[in-house]
Structure 1
Amino acid sequence: MEIRDTAYALDTEGPAAVTRLLRSLPARPRLLGLGEAKHGEEALLELRNEIFRHLVEHEGYRSFALESDCLMGLVVDDYVTAGTGTLDDVMARGFSHGFGASAATRELVRWMRAYNEERSPAERLRFFGFDGPLEMTVAASPRQALTALHGYLAAWIDAGLLACTAETLDRLIGADDRWTNPAAAMDPTQSVGQSAEAKELRLIADDLVALLDAQTPHLIAATSREAWWRASLYGRTATGLLRYHFWMVDASPPRVTRLMCMRDGMMAGNLEAIAEHGPTLVYGGNRHLQRDKSTLKLGDLPLEWWSAGAIVDARLGDRYAFLASALGTVRHQSLGVPHPDTLEGLLYTLPGNRYVIDAPRLAAALDGAGRKPAPRKDMSADYLYITLDPDHVGENDGIVFVKDVPPNPA
């Protein structure tokens, strides 16, 4: 079997090539992960949009989840489902990690809103962020999540059952900039995560989440399943953030690895909750969605952790599927033609520009030919490109390969 026999051409078939691959899987996935090999390339985000529109129109998908702040994502969801706010405001307030500046992401949000305008609530598309309120050097204050959870419970449950008053919560949280101090990322002593107030907040958050769970029948009947779902999101986020801040104080060697694990654990919890809304396209970095262990070298520090995708796959089984992505050249970012002995180099020999590769069949073809691709190592000028590990090709359901990525529009 040749490499070309494992490839479906996106240039000629369009996103229907993805459908062909999905229909070869043993079960229809509830969550379809689409990995991103490099942030910031509009051509890749436009391809993502094409695939999502096709899945909506031909495969019954109704939700889109992005590697962006889960709480900010509520702003986007309110806009696409109910028209709340303006598109400009949503793009400014509804995204983290720079996604709001993307023209392709703006077009996705506009299209989702237009699609929903003439449809009933049950038919409308949903938007979700699945990352925690975390950046590379900053973790958010727990204020938004904790106060929203407390406010929901206070409105519908006897005050005597609550762990504290809103005033006590506000006092314990204090100034938000104590929590978001960027110096804490590199200096554990700058973190407030193990202060007396933070430790008390962890206990309060745990009690509030337990109360939310215990009162589920009453709360869903008194409000709605959607309101309860959002309260659960606030609870997961509050406990996750407080746990993250607690371990930011840790100065031991596993500190960064532990934080990476906790971030992806928060992502996994959000993805499992999102899966309740039906078939969903999940778009995020390859490292966050792959099945094999994720690795990263941060300076001289090697990191290894289980990704959100690996966790979800272990829990959902064949209800999770993953399409990794790989790139040939990104010449405007000094990423040239890959070496022919690498996985990307082998795929680069295909005649067209965009493909969906059947990854297990590709792995079998390489094994049958006795070929073991070498890892790609020419990313020094473009550290943002995430290569695929050739030893784990067959653990992906597919690979979306773009041979030559064009520059972003001026």
Structure 2
Amino acid sequence: MIRFGDEVASIARPLRDPGDLEILLDRADGAKAVLIGEATHGTHEFYEWRAALTRRLIEERGFSFVAVEGDWPDCERVNAAVRGGGPDPRDALVRYDRWPTWMWANEETVDFTRWLRGFNERRAPDDHVGFHGLDVYSLWQSMREILTWLREHDPDLAPAALDAYRCFEPYNEDPNAYGWANQFVPAACEDKVVRMLAAVKDRDFGVWQNAEVVAGAESYYRTMVRGGPDAWNIRDRHMDQTLDRLLRRYGPSARAVVWAHNTHVGDARATDQAGYGEVTLGQLARERFGAGRTLLVGFGTHHGTVVAGSEWGAPMEAMGVPGARPGSLEEVLQAAAPPEALFVFPARGPRPDLLTTELPHRAIGVVFRPERERWANYVPTILGERYDAFLWFAGTRALRPLHTLRVDSHEPETYPSGV
């Protein structure tokens, strides 16, 4: 195995406080979108430093909104709170009730959104910085939001939305039931959703976006049960299109900060995801805005604790993260980098081997499966092509959920599920 000790030391910058992020802010100056990742959905340091970078991007570089790997309706409650039109952001975040709740219902996100509310209070309403969801999972919640709005503001259009809603009713809000049912008959609700989307597209932006979520979710759940890359690509393309709609909504000078897992933020072409036929939000952003106007920031850790579930829908637990596997990027950095470090990759010119050699790079999802740690938790990665910068934390700890946390005393492993 190639050893990278000397070059790691030469390009790693110690990360002690937010002031050390200055070089990364300078790289973001020309960016239309800065996408900031995480190697897990349950690590305190990732949320803390992502928020620290975002605060500086908003305060010092004028970024317009934050868009996260979360559901549109839930995040719109938070958006209202950070704009001062609703309750305290914590009250909005604690209402997240779709598993995995801890992804956004946590104290780290409370701290950031309370800061954002205070920041907005000092600005004119037209200059408020928003908080929005990019994801595709909220089919039934988005349907209800559409019906509620139409009944109050545009009742003539309610029948088209009600027709689509009734089409989904037999599945009792179970996406798997809808997906499996449509493996054997034509997609029963697709045409009704398309008609609803056409009817509301020129109405309120929030209603339009909820209709786009319903359309994306219907396609996602119908495709998901077949396996393969199609469902993943529907989801990431939906996030890309939502990001583009938000940027257009905010105006020609708008700039976005995106929070999502490394497996969405990183460029698929620098991983084995491309070989599976998958695209990622980071790749699509580079294609949409240009590599020079897109900044992709990855995160990594070697060991510590994390919040996850032992299976989909299981109670969340604070679990141990074992040391990374031999030969991985994390093992290299553990041996040669400072315990907390920032890497900003050169935009052009020669690059060290660390940035051009394919290495396994850990990815922990919301499901943590011990038996799969050594063979399924790592994404083959060319670091300098997957990201533009990387934040490293040798030891990390679990974030602080707002809901009840179960603590597991056993040392677990990881599995990149639900990213």
Q: Shorter-chain TM-score category?
A: 0.7 to 0.9
Local SS of the residue matching 1:82? coil
Is 1:375–2:360 an aligned residue pair? yes
Is 1:390–2:381 an aligned residue pair? yes
Aligned alpha-carbon RMSD (Å): 3.6
343-352 or 174-183: which moved more?
Answer: 174-183
Is 1:48–2:50 an aligned residue pair? yes
Structure 1 CA distance for aligned equivalents of residues 363 and 209 of structure 2: 40
Local SS of the residue matching 2:370? coil
Contact 1:64 1:128 in 2 (8 A): yes
- After superposition, the Cα gap between the structure-2 partners of 1:376 and 1:112, relative to the gap in structure 1 and judged at 3 Å, is closer
Local SS of the residue matching 2:30? coil
Match of 2:83 in 1: 81
Is 1:310–2:312 an aligned residue pair? no
Contact 1:83 1:113 in 2 (8 A): no
Match of 1:130 in 2: 134
Compute the TM-score of the two structures, normalised by the length of structure 2: 0.74
Deviation of residue 347 (structure 1)?
1.6
Contact 1:289 1:308 in 2 (8 A): yes
Opposite residue 18 of structure 1, the aligned amino acid is L
Deviation of residue 148 (structure 1)?
6.0
Deviation of residue 335 (structure 1)?
3.2
Local SS of the residue matching 2:215? helix
Deviation of residue 140 (structure 1)?
3.6
Contact 1:360 1:394 in 2 (8 A): no
Local SS of the residue matching 1:349? helix
Opposite residue 229 of structure 2, the aligned amino acid is T
Match of 2:321 in 1: 335
Match of 1:101 in 2: 105
Structure 1: give runs of 5+ residues left out of the alignment: 160-164, 213-218, 220-227, 297-301
Contact 1:67 1:131 in 2 (8 A): yes
Deviations 1:3-44 (A, max 9, x none): 222222221xx234333034246x611211111101111232
Compute the TM-score of the two structures, normalised by the length of structure 1: 0.76
Opposite residue 115 of structure 1, the aligned amino acid is F
Structure 2 CA distance for aligned equivalents of residues 382 and 124 of structure 1: 46
- After superposition, the Cα gap between the structure-2 partners of 1:290 and 1:145, relative to the gap in structure 1 and judged at 3 Å, is farther
Local SS of the residue matching 1:264? helix
Matches within 5 A, 1:188-267: 188-189=180-181, 194=186, 196=188, 198-208=189-199, 212=202, 228-247=204-223, 252=226, 255-267=227-239
Structure 1 CA distance for aligned equivalents of residues 48 and 206 of structure 2: 29
Deviation of residue 95 (structure 1)?
7.3
Deviation of residue 268 (structure 1)?
0.8
Match of 1:115 in 2: 119
Opposite residue 9 of structure 2, the aligned amino acid is R
Structure 1 CA distance for aligned equivalents of residues 257 and 372 of structure 2: 26
Identical aligned pairs, as a percentage?
17
Aligned residues: 367
Local SS of the residue matching 1:93? coil
Structure 2 CA distance for aligned equivalents of residues 73 and 331 of structure 1: 27
Structure 1 CA distance for aligned equivalents of residues 223 and 145 of structure 2: 19
Structure 2 CA distance for aligned equivalents of residues 192 and 354 of structure 1: 52
Aligned partner of 1:170 among 146, 150, 162: 162
Structure 1 CA distance for aligned equivalents of residues 173 and 61 of structure 2: 42
355-364 or 342-351: which moved more?
Answer: 355-364
Structure 2 CA distance for aligned equivalents of residues 341 and 404 of structure 1: 18
Opposite residue 132 of structure 1, the aligned amino acid is V
Local SS of the residue matching 1:36? coil
Local SS of the residue matching 1:364? coil
Is 1:359–2:345 an aligned residue pair? yes
104-113 or 169-178: which moved more?
Answer: 169-178
Local SS of the residue matching 2:384? helix
Match of 2:24 in 1: 21
Deviations 1:153-183 (A, max 9, x none): 837xxx5xxxxx4245324422646262154
Opposite residue 356 of structure 1, the aligned amino acid is L
Is 1:180–2:178 an aligned residue pair? no
Local SS of the residue matching 1:389? strand
Match of 1:8 in 2: 13
Match of 1:271 in 2: 243
Opposite residue 322 of structure 2, the aligned amino acid is G
Contact 2:147 2:158 in 1 (8 A): yes
Query: Greater CA radius of gyration, 1 or 2?
Result: 1
Contact 2:82 2:120 in 1 (8 A): yes
